[in-house]
Amino acid sequence: MADEGSFVRNSSTQCFVSQGGRVLKSKITKLVLVAIAAVVSFQVNQTANAQGANAGLVAILDVAKVFKENLEFTAQMQSIKAEAERLKVDITAEQDAIKGRAQQVTQYEVGTAERNKFEGDLEIQQAALRTKARQAEAGLLNREARIYYATYQKMQGIVSSVATQNNISLVLRFDSQDIDQTKRDEVIKGVNRAVVYHNRLDLTSMVTKAMNAGAAQAAAPTGTQNK
């Protein structure tokens, strides 16, 4: 039968062994966690590096300026403006003619069949003129919309080509016009701009030049295009 001293010694040994096992187990666990963290970190870094290698630049484009400086677009809009001015002159002339005829109503007595017919004809002419003006205006607006759409589609194609050639992944629209601090509308518009800062990433000149290249070639004399 073991004495009390032997029991104490055995208990102490068991306690030491038990504590040592927990310490060893804790160290192993920490080593495993460190190894896992290292593997995860390596994978994350590899992914980030791959994404960084494939990521492109971000550039900006002043769309309004491209439209304003586009030769073909400007010529087409000037043509529409000239046609609108001609339409205004024609409508005004017809309106004045109707007013001149209206002054002749006094030669008919009030209530007579002739006067009623004369006034009815004037109203028909006025209605026809209003319809003509409205339809002509709608036609001009539709033509203007088609010109804007065609120009924008052309610009998109050129921007896509430029972006692909220069590894650009995103092109943001911005406004390069100076803000007049004395005009409230301009200040509010400027404060709400999407692009606050850029560092020489403006594609506007490049896109404008590319869009005008075709227009300049088309406008050149036939004998000079092949030189």
CA distance linking residue 199 with residue 170, whole number of Å? 15
> Do 106 and 129 reside in the same domain of the chain?
yes
- Res 199: pLDDT: 80
Same domain, 45 and 72: no
Same domain? 35 vs 74: no
Task: Tell me which residue of 91, 101, 96 sits closest to 130, measured CA to CA.
Answer: 91
Same domain, 33 and 138: no
- Residue 67: its pLDDT value, please? 97
Of the three residues 15, 31, 55, the one that is the final residue of a domain is 55
Question: pLDDT of the chain along its 227 residues, tens only?
Answer: 445 444 444 444 444 345 555 544 555 444 444 443 443 344 434 433 444 445 689 999 999 999 999 999 999 999 999 999 999 999 999 999 999 999 999 999 998 999 999 999 999 999 999 999 999 999 999 999 999 999 999 999 999 999 999 999 999 999 888 889 999 998 998 888 888 787 878 999 999 999 998 665 655 555 555 44
**What pLDDT was estimated at residue 32?**
40
Q: Where are the alpha helices (DSSP H) in 105-167?
A: 113-165
pLDDT for res 153: 97
108 and 34 in one domain?
no
Q: Say what the pLDDT of residue 77 is.
A: 97
Give the structural domain span for 176.
Answer: 58-225
Residues contacting residue 91 through CB under 8 Å, at least 6 positions apart: 129, 132, 133, 136
In this structure, are 142 and 210 located in the same domain?
yes
Helix (H) or strand (E) holding 86: helix 71-102
CA separation for the pair 33, 36 (Å, rounded) = 5
Same domain, 180 and 140: yes
- Boundary (domain end) residue, out of 55, 82, 97: 55
Residue 4 pLDDT: 44
Supply the CATH number for residue 117's domain: 3.30.910.20
Q: Is the dihedral of CA 191, 194, 197, 202 positive or negative?
A: negative
Task: Say yes or no: 89 and 141 in one domain.
Answer: yes
Specify whether 191 is located in the same domain as 213: yes
Based on the fold, state whether residues 48 and 62 are members of the same structural domain. Answer: no
Q: What's the pLDDT score for residue 227?
A: 45
Burial 82-119 (b: 16+ CB within 10 A, else e): eeeeebeeebeebeeebeeeeeeeeeeeeeeeeeeebe
42, 100: one domain: no
Domain final residue, candidates 34, 55, 76: 55
Query: Measured between alpha carbons, how far is 157 from 83 in angstroms, rounded to an integer?
Result: 30
Q: What's the confidence (pLDDT) of residue 200?
A: 79
What's the total number of domains in the chain? Answer: 2
Please check whether residues 110 and 215 belong to one and the same domain: yes
> What pTM value is reported for the model?
0.66
Is 52 within 8 Å of 123 (Cβ atoms)? Answer: no
